[in-house]
């Protein structure tokens, strides 16, 4: 989409070299070839020097907009909760530099517009399921929600739904371990089909059943490798993606990591959990996540939905059992994701 100086230089060199050579092939005399060569060289040189005065001919990414986008994305997780009579409410912090970002809580119509014709996959443990529920709450009406409630909460199972009116396909894939997430990613590769939005997250099950930090780290690295190999998109190839998108041959894929919640040890409902799922263990597991460089802020391709910060801010009263929290937390994280999608797809509502 954007013409870099390097590509321009290479193109100019090719023109100067090959156009006269081509003409020589057309049996022009050597003098004429030299003449054309010289004329071309001078024309190109003049053009190159004129470019700065006519920037509109050579579109550049508006740097302030891109900068603002990135900085807005970094403010997305800055959310606060307030308790009131009917529970909790949430909103973005306004004290921060996010005032220009125009974050908004989207209504059902806005979400339908944004996700129209999309395929959204959420893969992970029960946190991911609650995230999916919050997303469905935004997409479906209360009566429809009622109807699917039992299927959606079937323990340890997948859930699939197509919202016909807006051609939205939603999949929840039960994936308690990172190895399961890797399986999901390689599955896309095998099938040759990729969702538009992929939200993944896992860690608590591993902590409880393996309690092996380095093994968690290893599995995160394997996930990262499979992402790099399988998916048509990674941050590294953004430029290629831009051109592919311009050519209409590839869709952008948006990747999110659903972070682990803040654990409240005293509220955990079994002795085993209280022993294994400590604050220190949580910190160590999160360190592995950062070390894996899966997250965008560490150079990876997944944008963090910072459930740890959100749950910590919502606090003890907001938690049900020390690891699952009230709907308001998952609702907020869904809106964080939707606003990231809005920013990244350059849409305004
Ligand atoms: C926004 O959140 C980030 C990360 O949690 C934090 O470092 C920063 O201080 C927050 N900024 C404001 C203004 O609250
Ligand atoms: C969804 O998109 C299709 C085609 O882009 C359009 O015809 C339809 O009206 C849209 N539906 C909604 C609910 O926005
Ligand atoms: C997830 O991975 C675990 C351990 O690798 C495996 O035992 C389990 O069958 C997998 N579950 C699913 C749903 O793929
Ligand atoms: C791949 O395709 C099969 C068969 O259509 C389907 O059952 C499976 O869920 C797909 N996997 C993924 C990750 O899309
Ligand atoms: C932890 O995981 C690592 C890497 O998978 C493995 O080499 C090690 O033996 C495991 N440690 C324990 C105590 O199971």
47 falls within a domain: yes
- For residue 200, how far is its CA from the centre of ligand 4 (angstroms)? 17
160 falls within a domain: yes
Measured CA to CA, the distance from residue 347 to residue 66 in angstroms comes to 14
Closest CA to 333 of 70, 75, 72, 79: 79
259 DSSP assignment: P
69 falls within a domain: yes
Measured CA to CA, the distance from residue 285 to residue 211 in angstroms comes to 9
- For residue 8, how far is its CA from the centre of ligand 5 (angstroms)? 52
Residue nearest atom 9 of ligand 4, based on CA coordinates? 187
Measured CA to CA, the distance from residue 145 to residue 147 in angstroms comes to 5
Supply the CATH number for residue 327's domain.
3.40.50.1110
Taking each helix axis as running N to C, give the angle between helix 108-115 and helix 327-344, from 0 to 180 degrees, rounded to the nearest 10: 50
Looking at the fold, whether 127 and 269 belong to one and the same domain comes out as yes
Owning domain of residue 217: 65-344
Sequence-distant (6+) residues with CB within 8 A of 82 are 88, 89, 90, 91
Which residues are registered as beta bridge partners of 169?
A: 119, 162
Looking at the fold, whether 22 and 117 belong to one and the same domain comes out as no
Q: What is the atom index within ligand 4 of the atom nearest the CA of 187?
A: 13
Pocket test for ligand 4, best of 161, 191, 200 (most atoms within 8 A of CB): 191
Looking at the fold, whether 19 and 166 belong to one and the same domain comes out as no
271 falls within a domain: yes
- Tokens representing 334 are 């869904």
Q: How far apart are the first and last CA of the chain?
A: 24
Q: Identify which ligand lies nearest to the alpha carbon of 108.
A: 2
Pocket of ligand 2 (CB under 6 A): 112-113, 116-117, 166
Provide the residue-wise pLDDT of the chain in tens; the chain has 349 residues: 344 555 655 565 555 556 555 565 566 666 665 666 666 555 656 555 655 555 455 545 445 566 677 788 999 999 999 998 888 999 999 865 677 788 999 999 999 999 999 999 999 999 999 999 999 999 998 889 988 988 888 888 999 999 999 999 999 999 999 999 999 999 999 998 999 999 999 999 999 999 999 999 999 999 999 999 877 654 444 544 455 444 443 457 899 999 999 999 999 999 999 999 999 999 999 999 999 999 999 999 999 999 999 999 999 999 999 999 999 999 999 999 999 999 988 765 5
Sequence-distant (6+) residues with CB within 8 A of 66 are none
349 falls within a domain: no
- For residue 8, how far is its CA from the centre of ligand 1 (angstroms)? 41
329 falls within a domain: yes
Closest CA to 106 of 327, 310, 349, 346: 349
Question: Which residue, of 17, 37, 57, is where some domain finishes?
Answer: 57
Looking at the fold, whether 199 and 75 belong to one and the same domain comes out as yes
Residue 310: what pLDDT? Answer: 97
Q: How large is the C-alpha radius of gyration of the chain?
A: 26
Pocket test for ligand 1, best of 96, 101, 290, 298 (most atoms within 8 A of CB): 96
Residue nearest atom 14 of ligand 4, based on CA coordinates? 188
Residue 217: what pLDDT? Answer: 98
Looking at the fold, whether 181 and 308 belong to one and the same domain comes out as yes
Question: Which residue, of 38, 57, 76, is where some domain finishes?
Answer: 57
CB 169 within 8 A of CB 118: yes
Residue 46: what pLDDT? Answer: 57
Residue nearest atom 5 of ligand 1, based on CA coordinates? 78
- Tokens representing 269 are 């409902």
- For residue 286, how far is its CA from the centre of ligand 1 (angstroms)? 18
Residue 49: what pLDDT? Answer: 64
Residue 3: what pLDDT? Answer: 47
Looking at the fold, whether 85 and 150 belong to one and the same domain comes out as yes
Phi and psi based region of residue 2 (left: phi greater than 0; alpha: psi -120 to 50; beta: remaining): beta
- For residue 308, how far is its CA from the centre of ligand 1 (angstroms)? 13
Looking at the fold, whether 175 and 145 belong to one and the same domain comes out as yes
Looking at the fold, whether 201 and 237 belong to one and the same domain comes out as yes
3-class DSSP state for residue 159?
A: strand
Residue 182: what pLDDT? Answer: 97
Looking at the fold, whether 194 and 278 belong to one and the same domain comes out as yes
Question: Which residue, of 57, 79, 101, is where some domain finishes?
Answer: 57
Beta strands 119-124 and 197-201 are parallel
- Tokens representing 203 are 């860690």
Closest CA to 319 of 76, 8, 81, 45: 81
Pocket test for ligand 4, best of 181, 183, 187 (most atoms within 8 A of CB): 187
- Tokens representing 44 are 């190109």
Looking at the fold, whether 6 and 134 belong to one and the same domain comes out as no
Q: What is the atom index within ligand 3 of the atom nearest the CA of 176?
A: 1
CB 88 within 8 A of CB 348: no
- For residue 4, how far is its CA from the centre of ligand 2 (angstroms)? 36
Tell me if 187 CB under 6 Å of ligand 4: yes
- For residue 199, how far is its CA from the centre of ligand 2 (angstroms)? 24
Q: What is the atom index within ligand 1 of the atom nearest the CA of 93?
A: 14
Q: Would you say the pTM of this structure is higher than 0.85?
A: no
Closest CA to 178 of 206, 198, 158, 144: 206
- For residue 75, how far is its CA from the centre of ligand 1 (angstroms)? 7
Sequence-distant (6+) residues with CB within 8 A of 149 are none
Cα separations in angstroms, 180 against 45, 124, 133, 169, 205: 57, 8, 20, 21, 12
Looking at the fold, whether 152 and 50 belong to one and the same domain comes out as no
Domain count, the chain: 2
Looking at the fold, whether 69 and 29 belong to one and the same domain comes out as no
Residue 253: what pLDDT? Answer: 87
């Amino acid at each position: 989409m954007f013409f870099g100086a390097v590509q321009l230089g290479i193109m100019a060199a090719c023109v100067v070299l090959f156009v006269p050579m081509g003409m020589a092939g057309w049996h022009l005399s050597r003098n004429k070839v030299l003449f054309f060569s010289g004329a071309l060289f001078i024309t190109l040189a003049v053009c190159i020097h004129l470019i700065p005065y006519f920037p509109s001919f050579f579109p550049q990414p508006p740097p302030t907009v891109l900068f603002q986008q990135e900085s807005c994305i970094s403010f997305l997780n800055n959310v606060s909760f307030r308790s009131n009579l009917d529970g909790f409410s949430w909103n973005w912090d306004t004290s921060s530099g996010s005032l220009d970002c125009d974050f908004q809580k989207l209504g059902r119509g806005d979400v339908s517009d944004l996700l129209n014709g999309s395929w959204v996959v959420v893969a992970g443990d029960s946190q991911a399921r609650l995230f999916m529920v919050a997303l469905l709450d935004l997409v479906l009406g209360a009566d429809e929600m009622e109807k699917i409630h039992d299927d959606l909460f079937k323990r340890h199972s997948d859930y699939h739904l197509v919202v016909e009116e807006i051609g939205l396909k939603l999949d929840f894939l039960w994936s308690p371990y990172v190895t399961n997430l890797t399986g999901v990613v390689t599955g896309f590769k095998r099938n040759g089909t990729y969702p538009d939005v992929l939200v993944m997250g896992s860690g608590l099950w591993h902590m409880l059943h393996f309690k092996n930090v380095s093994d968690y780290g290893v599995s995160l690295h394997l996930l990262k490798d499979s992402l790099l190999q399988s998916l048509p998109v990674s941050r590294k190839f953004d430029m290629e993606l831009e051109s592919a998108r311009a050519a209409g041959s590839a869709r952008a894929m948006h990747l999110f990591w659903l972070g682990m919640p803040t654990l409240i040890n005293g509220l955990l409902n079994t002795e085993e959990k209280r022993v294994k799922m400590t604050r220190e263990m949580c910190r160590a597991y999160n360190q592995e996540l950062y070390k894996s460089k899966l997250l965008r802020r560490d150079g990876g391709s997944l944008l963090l939905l910072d459930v740890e910060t959100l749950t910590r801010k919502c606090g003890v009263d907001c938690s049900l059992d020390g690891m699952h929290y009230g709907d308001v937390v998952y609702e907020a994280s869904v809106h964080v994701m939707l606003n990231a999608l809005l920013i990244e797809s350059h849409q305004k509502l």
